[in-house]
Amino acid sequence: MKIAIMGAMLEEVEPFLELAEHEPLLKFFKKHSDTFYGGNTYHEAKYKGLDIVLGYSKIGKVNAGLTAATMIEKFGAEKLLFTGVAGAVNPSLKVGDLIAATQLCQHDLDITAFGHPHGYVPEGKVYVEPSRELLHIARKVAEEKGIPLKGGIIATGDQFIADPVRKEWIGKTFDADALEMEGAAVAVVCDALNVPFFILRSISDAADSDATFDFDEFLKHSSQVSSSFILAMLEEIADDQAQ
Ligand code: ADE
């Protein structure tokens, strides 16, 4: 089974790369090899019997779509796990909290001029849903390890939101709990190509007037929180496969 581990920024996947350099994980990460393709580096590794392709796309929906499609079409990924950070919309979400997307939408996709709802284009859908099986594995891991994991709607757009008015609009229009800049693009690609996917984010900021400061401050920590959880999911998937 080949699994893609994807982030948008180097910082978001760096915990995996650091682990791969580290002695204990080298036991599991074997056959380490790198490929530069389409402007991004893809790392292939073996982890507990799973084939892994790991990489980051660069920020934004187009970059994310390219990387997700490349991981699937060129590297043969059969499942995709996304790890990274997000801005909180739901006030119950605080810095470091984990949110798994139950639905994803594009808050900046707008042909309302033609009478369509926000986030909709013909032959598409406003909300794309991740794999139920992967969500189930995530809930199991969270329960077993006692890690609080929330589920919710993630809204994606090609904008860093640092504005309470825009944030409130996204929350109201899409019933969104968190926002970021790649998840829905990955979701659309995986959905179209029938590849089960899972989008995990750890909160780095509240998408408000402090967002740029908070993002810089908490990017590393929140990336670590998200990566650790994805690693635990990989272990669960590997154990399931071994049985
Ligand atoms: N990712 C993390 N925080 C974000 C924000 N405030 N806006 C967009 N993407 C983000």
Active site residues: 12, 205
Q: What is the CATH number of the domain that holds 139?
A: 3.40.50.1580
Closest Cα to atom 2 of ligand 1 = 86
Instruction: Note down the domain range covering 40.
Output: 2-242
Secondary structure class of 49 (helix, strand, coil): coil
Predicted confidence at residue 243, as pLDDT, reads 83
pLDDT at position 242 is 87
- Give per-residue pLDDT as tens, 151-207: 999 999 999 999 999 999 999 999 999 999 999 999 999 999 999 999 999 999 999
Mean pLDDT split into 10-residue runs, the chain, 243 residues: 97 85 54 84 88 96 98 98 98 98 98 98 98 98 98 98 98 98 98 98 98 98 97 94 87
- Three-state SS letters, 58-117: CCCHHHHHHHHHHHHHCCCCCEEEEEEEEEECCCCCCCCCEEEEEEEEECCCCCHHHCCC
Q: 156 alpha carbon to ligand 1 midpoint, in Å?
A: 9
- pTM above the 0.85 mark? yes
Lookup: tokens for 51: 């084939």
In short, whether 207's Cβ falls inside 6 Å of ligand 1 is yes
Into how many domains does the chain fold? 1
pLDDT in the model for residue 21: 64
